[in-house]
Amino acid sequence: MEADRGELVSLMEPLLIGEGSRHRGALIDLAFDLAQKSAGFHRSLPPSLLASVADMVRAMNCYYSNLIEGHDTHPVDIERAMKNDYSKDTRKRDLQLEAQAHITVQQWIDNGGLKGGGAIKADGICEIHRRFCELLPEDLLWCEDPATKERIRVVPGELRKSEVRVGTHIAISAGALPRFLQCFEQIYENTGKTEAIISTAAAHHRLLWIHPFLDGNGRVARLMSHAMMLDTLDTGAVWSVARGLARNVSEYKRLLANCDLPRRNDLDGRGSLSEEALAEFTRFFLAVCIDQVNFMESLVQPDRLRARILLWVEEEIRLGRLPPKSGSILEAVLYRGELPRGEAGTVVGTGERQARRTVSALLDKEVLVSDSARAPLRLAFPASLASRWMPGLFPERPI
């Protein structure tokens, strides 16, 4: 039986920014702004393009979430991993498998795996961890106790059984984890929509404060936050907070650490921890979300995206790497969302044989995808073309 020091769950209060808090008004405004922008962006995309953008966002989210942990796996290597094409270098292969695990878990979430508030339930949190860690290579399942230097194996989905210290923060005892996670679940599952948006940031920190697992807590917290926003805002999974957190990683970690601090004085809420620090992190978190919605919306704005795609197509045609009229096919798919194969000839205007050749070339370039040989064609966003089609999606150099 794991040791339980008998800590009171009030040690992690406040879990919410209270009704009477002086910080609440500004946070409600941010939550309202985020809800409006996210809904508007989601509605602006045709359903089939929605799926293509969500696929791209999963790769982006994986890249940046792992980058926060110090694991820089190139987006092209991530894409190769999704096709089971792994590096011969053991370390690179391990990181590819880690990226593949992250994308697989997020796809499960995006497909409704945690719908209806499952993301903040103890079982849901453990399921995220289990699904992620079960797909990791053995070498990435071991961590070192900073005090004893003992190597300990992480068991997928299992709450830690030992004590941990993260920086200056001494996490709650292992035996207290079920009590704290039960309180966590009770507080965050009974909220209205505005409160749920605001509390995503608080839940993000408080889960890290609880530190339920030996390793993987950061990724689990970010996947949980993604799932909470997906559920609360119906984001369509077409944007995610991880890119913004990674681009502001020093501020992200600084503000998270500040949330560990005790209440300073009578003006700093009524809980054990600082309400002001929690409010500051919430402001940062919501502002990052809004920034990411704006960024993604600007990337897939139809006229601008069309111009970038057609410029690339013209170059490929000039170099003899694509047939003429390839741009017409991509343009039709972009504006219609998907294109039945039988209509490709009409779009190209040069006969069925030439249309099939053009479609085949675009499929080979992986800029078109289809669920089967007869299914409609959809646009895809390969990582190799990210800098051309989606500038800024991934950094040209490490952050």
Same domain, 29 and 143: yes
Mean pLDDT calculated for residue range 77-99: 95
Q: Are residues 74 and 204 in the same domain?
A: yes
Does residue 81 or residue 396 have the better pLDDT? 81
Tell me: do 292 and 306 sit in the same domain.
Answer: no
Q: What is the CATH number of the domain that holds 354?
A: 1.10.10.10
Structural domain includes residue 394: no
- 362/262 same-domain check: no
Number of independent structural domains in the chain: 2
Contact 255, 284 (CB under 8 A): yes
* C-beta separation of 347 from 21 below 8 A: no
What are the pLDDT digits (tens) for 314-326? 999 999 999 999 9
One domain, residues 136 and 235: yes
Is 142 a domain residue? yes
pLDDT of residue 349: 84
**pLDDT band at residue 1 under the 50/70/90 scheme:** very low
197 located within any domain: yes
Give me the DSSP letters along 186-243.
HHHHS--HHHHHHHHHHHHHHHHHH--SSS-HHHHHHHHHHHHHHHHH--TTS--SHH
339 in the same domain as 209? no
* End-of-domain residue from the set 299, 315, 333: 299
398 confidence band (pLDDT: 50, 70, 90): very low
Residues 90-148 pLDDT 10s: 999 999 999 999 999 999 999 999 988 899 999 999 999 999 999 999 999 998 876 67
Q: Is 397 among the domain residues? A: no
Determine the 3-state secondary structure of 399 from DSSP. Answer: coil
Residues 342 and 371 in one domain: yes
3 located within any domain: no
pTM of the entire predicted model: 0.93
380 Cβ contact list (under 8 Å, min separation 6): 52, 55, 366, 367, 368, 369
* Domain extent for 346: 302-389
Query: Of the residues 272, 299, 326, which one is the last residue of a structural domain?
Result: 299
- Do residue 77 and residue 207 come from a single domain? yes
In a domain, 2, yes or no: no
User: In terms of domains, do 291 and 380 share one?
Assistant: no
Same domain, 349 and 272: no
Which of residues 237, 269, 299 is at a domain's end? 299
More confident residue, 380 or 337: 380
Q: How many CB atoms lie within 10 A of CB 350?
A: 15
Q: What residue has token string 């961590």?
A: 143
Q: Is there a domain that residue 137 lies in?
A: yes
Residue 397: the pLDDT is 53
Does residue 66 fall inside a structural domain?
yes
CATH code at position 165: 1.10.3290.10
Residues 245 and 369 occupy one common structural domain? no
Same domain, 363 and 226: no
Q: Give residue 41's identity as a one-letter amino acid code.
A: F
Give residue 399's pLDDT.
46
Average pLDDT on 307-332 reads: 95
